[in-house]
Every structure is written in structure tokens, then in C-alpha cells.
Homo-oligomer: A and B are copies of this chain.
Amino acid sequence: MKPIKLGMVGGGSGAFIGAVHRIASRIDGEFNLVAGALSSTPEKARTSGEELGLAPDRSYDSFVEMAKSEARLKDGIEAVAIVTPNHMHYPAAREFLERGIHVICDKPLTATVSDANKMATAVENSNALFILTHNYTGYPMIRQAKELVATGELGKLRIVQVEYAQDWLTEPTHNKQAEWRTDPSRSGAGGSTGDIGTHAYNLARFVSGLTLNKLSADLDAFVPGRRVDDNGHVLMRFEGGAKGMLWCSQVAPGNENGLRLRIFGEKGGLEWSQEDPNYLWYTPFGEAKRRLTRGGAGTSPSANALNRTPGGHPEGYLEAFANLYAEAAQAIRAVQAGQPVPSNVHFPDINDGVEGVRFIDACVRSSSKDAAWVSL
């Protein structure tokens, strides 16, 4: 199999998530980065391209130019990774979708609901695939959890507890990451809700399979002068009667990247923590708690299909991210061969993306109405 030719929009020198996407695309040898519009500043775009060893004529000053040129090339890019700040996701993605180039887009989908809807239309009108990197869904033990729920091991679900706590914005911060993530014009109206709450919500949906009916959100910007929320408390009511709580925070000292999910049903409970991702704690009601380990005894073939190493060899964030790229590759190759996307592929898609943006929007709306119940 030849590697899939990949382009990248955003992700120039110093960017966090761009580097992550590049590693993720490389781990399994399925992608080859050959083009980029790596920064909105042309000079920086060029320097970054050189650093990454791009051919000079495929290191572009703008994504529009890149989309046009690559679409014309005989061996132009087959897929593009979009890793800009949120407000640029739609304008960039549109250019590639229109030209049939598959899009792998970072989350949240867009900065606004309006853009999210436009993105949905663009995807609908394109024959290209759209993959959203809600990367935490790529962890094998999350797939295991999803399967335990789906096969009824937990019984009817009652309670979802999900949280995503960090501390890096505890004090006023002025680095590159913090700047755009706390600027509503670039990140959207949600701060912690947009940056991490949406991950938490997506993960809860992914594993539980539940549909959210209503939420009530109480958001705060604890750091003086901050223009977006840095802490959010959310109550959730799902279709069918399950209830949930979601906490997201970037001002909780002692939490680095604390995404944690707990789900409880009539017959059992699950617990998982992103910082210790190789463990899934499963308690069938009335039995002792079991520690399932990635690749270990009692795990399922579908979860283990995402492993690269046996149990006890910890895999982490980058491998989970790479699992989405691996699934993207599977899907792209299937489409290129005129076949349907394989059913074992579970990457988040445009619907998850729209749902995520609506979640952020609902949190902001609810909070502005004193935490009233709102629908998505």
C-alpha cells in the first residue's frame, strides 16, 4: 500500500496540535505529508514548510492557493489535515471538500453554529470524507467501553458522569495556545466548554450512545479579564431518562489533562481516565470490580484491533490519535476503491461535529439565562 498523500492547513512552528497530527499520521506509515499552508503569515508558512521538508512549490502561502494547486496536480494531496484555530476550520475545509479532497479536521468543528451548519452542507455536497479528530474516541479502552454498553453489559443506562479538568489557565497566561483559545473571535463563544467540554461531551455520547435532550449550564470566567468561560458546570438530561453531569475546567490546580468518564446502568458501571488510558474499570453489579487492561484478559477483538503492542506496553495519547488516522486511511482507501466505509471504522464525523458546536452554544445560552434548561 502506498501512503496517502496528505496536506496540512495550519500547524506551523510552535503549534501544539499540528505537530500531534503529523506524528499521528506517521505512526502507521499510512500517510505522507507532502504539502502545506502552515500559517496564515506567508513567511512563517514558508519557514515552517522548510523545517518540515516540504518541497518549496508545495509549501503554500494560503489554503485557497493550496487547494487549487493540489487539486490540479496529478499526484496532488488526497487528504488534508486542518489544524488552524477554530474560526478558520470552515473556510479552509470548504476549499478542499469542494475539490473532493478528504478532510481531517481538528475539533471543535467551528467557532459558531452558523459555520457548523455551513460545514455540514459542504460535507453533504462533497463526495469527500470528513473526519473530526475528537481524538479521545481513539483509545482502545474507550472502544471497549462503548462495546460493553452497546452489548447491554451495563443494562439500561441511568447516570453519566464526565469531566475534563485542567489547570493551565489558573492564572492569566499569554502564550500562543492560551491567546487564541481565550479569544472568542477565534475560538468561539465557549472557552473551556469549547476547548475541552466538547471533548468530554463527545466522549460521553460516543461511549453511551445516548442522545442529549436538554442541558443546564453554569459557566464562569474566574480569571479577571478572561473573555470566555474557564469553568463550566452542566446538568444533562438524555432521551430515555438517563441523567448526567459534566464538569469542564481549566482552572483546577492539580489537573493536567483530566478527562474522566463514568457510566452507570441497571446492571453495571464503568470508569475510565484519560491520564491512565490503558485501564478500564468495570463492575458488574454484585461482583468485584475488574481492571480491564488494553490488550489484556477479557478485552474484545474490536478493541484490540486498535492495539500496536501487547498488554502492559502502555499506549497513550499519540497512539489514540493515530487510531483515528488509521481509520481515516481505511475509509479513504475504501472510498478510493469504490467500496463502502468499513463498519469497524468509528471516527467522529460531521454529525458529531455539529452536535459538539451545538453543545457549546447551548451551554453559553443556558448560562446566559441563569442556567435555564435549553435544547441543543
Contacts and interface: CB of A to CB of B under 8 A. Distances in A.
Contacts of A20: 308-309
Nearest to A247: B245
Contacts of A310: 16, 256-257
B216 A371 contact: yes
Interface string A96-138: 0000000000000000000000000000000000000000000
Nearest to A265: B253
Interface stretch (A34-42, A74-82, A199-207, A313-321): A313-321
A317 B317 contact: no
Contacts of A262: 252
A286 B290 contact: no
Interface in A274-299: 274-278, 281-293, 295-298
Interface stretch (A5-13, A163-171, A333-341): A163-171
A297 B308 contact: no
Interface stretch (A21-29, A58-66, A84-92, A349-357): A21-29
A249 interface: yes
Contacts of A23: 27-28, 308
Copies in the complex: 4
A218 B243 contact: yes
B247 A161 contact: yes
A287 B297 contact: yes
B291 A252 contact: no
Q: Which size class do A's interface residues fall under?
A: 35 or more
B278 A252 contact: no
A323 interface: no
A263 to B, nearest CB: 10
Contacts of A285: 167, 170-171, 253
A218 B237 CA distance: 9
Contacts of A296: 256, 288
Nearest to A16: B310
A149 interface: no
Interface in A183-227: 216, 218, 220, 222
A253 B264 CA distance: 6
A314 B237 contact: no
Contact of A373 (B271, B293, B371): B371
Contact of A235 (B233, B265, B319): B233
By Cβ-Cβ distance, the 7 closest A-B pairs, closest first, are A257-B312, A256-B312, A254-B283, A314-B316, A254-B269, A253-B269, A313-B317
Interface of A: 1-2, 16, 19-20, 22-23, 26-29, 53, 158-159, 161, 163, 166-167, 170-171, 216, 218, 220, 222, 231, 233, 235, 237, 241, 243-245, 247, 249, 251-258, 262, 264-271, 274-278, 281-293, 295-298, 308-319, 370-371, 373
